[in-house]
Amino acid sequence: MNAPDHVATLLDRPEAQARSVDDLVAWPLIRRLIAFDTTSRDSNLALLDWVRDYLAGHGIPSSYTFDDERRKANLWATLPAKDGNATEGGIVLSGHTDVVPVDGQPWDTDPFAATVRGDRVHGRGVTDMKSFSATGLALVPEFLRRGLKHPVHFALSYDEEVGCIGVRRLIADIVARGVRPMGCIVGEPTGMELVLAHKGKKAWRCRVRGHEAHSSLTPRGVNAVQIACEIVAYVAERARGFRDAGRRDEAYDVPYTTAHVGTIRGGTALNIVPRDCSFDFELRHLPFDDPDAFVDDVKAFAARFLPGMHAVSAATFIEFDALSAMPGMDTHDGSEIARIAHRCNGHAGVGKVSFGTEAALFQGADIATVICGPGHIEQAHQPNEWASLDQLARCEAFLRRLADHVCVA
């Protein structure tokens, strides 16, 4: 798939510049995809059906893998090579279709209407991560017109934002069908820099059951909120330990393992010793830090409260539920997909990031994977989420150079 003779001309080509959205081939598709409210809790089928019809218009069939309720699905579609090959080698362009909620966020524009302001495009999903998928889809006519040496696959998933749930079924399905891509590019926002590694992540819920009492009689109760807060404080203390004394990898934007508590719920009224409290916490870990050893320490810390709790009521407890787990990923810089992606982004830099992606799951299926997409993670999940015209133009230039690699003409 490499074409060393192309390299010089590729790198000589001036970087595409977009002075307005109308310079972007992908603009109509970006606008269309953002207009679908695909918040993770809702169905993504309207978006998928639109993409299926769009691809069918170019003679490309799509297949879906559904969730249990058939409310959501992944879409898989293959542009076959000129010789008819649709299974061996080739590159997967991967993007999730779901977006995080806009509830309670102060937006200045309609989040589901892509809106240009100055040199920025605002909209939910414009950076995380509909623009990458839209740009890949916009170039389908060009891929087909030029003819492909190797297949190009589209993988559009559901429920990424709630734990990379959907894509697992898509990957299982293509493995079962004997599709063996050479590599995969996940278009999560990296500022169009090439990312070859990211941290792993594990999340848990801690549930503390205390014992209710009138607040004038605190010794007769077990205060679930206070015990939960002691455990929260232990998580925070361990997080400081990772920061101050843990092993580091300076290639990451945050070069150490992090832990944090994201939500907590407990108590009903100030004059009642609270019976229940629960909180969710997570660890985003470097490959050499063991998430299970961490949670074992948290459990051991929590266990010290149990004798005192049981002395008041045998019904009290502290329990931990595993919520989600994402392995880390680390793709070799010398792999073919990394070398191709390096050339496609004009060797614009390489890094490691702290956020998890579906890349780890493709990697787990022996599909070498890199991450490279427009926009920056700092703008993802925010009110007024945006990507710059420059980033969107760079994404288009990246995928055009990819076409130079995979196309015959």
Q: How far is the CB of 4 from Zn ion (least distance, A)?
A: 33
Return the residue of 73, 90, 122, 128 that touches Zn ion, per CB under 5 A.
Answer: 128
Q: How far is the CB of 358 from Zn ion (least distance, A)?
A: 8
Q: How far is the CB of 378 from Zn ion (least distance, A)?
A: 13
Rounded to the nearest 10 degrees, how much is the dihedral formed by the CA atoms of 399, 188, 156, 114?
A: -80
Q: Which amino acid is at 8?
A: A
Q: How far is the CB of 190 from Zn ion (least distance, A)?
A: 11
Binding range to Zn ion, per CB under 5 A, among 65-73, 128-136, 221-229, 295-303: 128-136
Binding mask 145-184 for Zn ion (x = CB under 5 A): ----------------------------------------
Binding mask 179-198 for Zn ion (x = CB under 5 A): ---------x----------
DSSP conformation letters of 123-183: STTTTTTHHHHHHHHHTHHHHHHH-BSS-EEEEEES--TTTS-HHHHHHHHHHHTT-B-SE
Q: How far is the CB of 198 from Zn ion (least distance, A)?
A: 12
Q: Which is nearer to Zn ion, 151 or 374 (CB)?
A: 374
Contact in structure between 271 and 223 (CB atoms under 8 Å): no
Binding range to Zn ion, per CB under 5 A, among 115-123, 129-137, 310-318, 398-406: 129-137
Contact in structure between 277 and 211 (CB atoms under 8 Å): no
- C-beta nearest to Zn ion: residue: 128
Helix (H) or strand (E) run with residue 31 in it: helix 27-35
Query: What count of Cα atoms within 13 Å lies in the side-chain half-sphere of residue 248?
Result: 9
Is position 129 an interface residue for Zn ion (rule: CB under 5 A)? yes
Tokens 């000589």: give the residue.
12
Q: How far is the CB of 357 from Zn ion (least distance, A)?
A: 7
Q: Which is nearer to Zn ion, 34 or 295 (CB)?
A: 34
Is position 360 an interface residue for Zn ion (rule: CB under 5 A)? no
Two tokens at 373?
Answer: 């997409």
Is position 396 an interface residue for Zn ion (rule: CB under 5 A)? no
CA–CA gap between residue 187 and residue 372 (Å, rounded): 5
Give the residue among 138, 124, 115 at the shortest CA–CA distance from 51: 138
List interacting residues with Zn ion (CB under 5 A).
128-129, 188
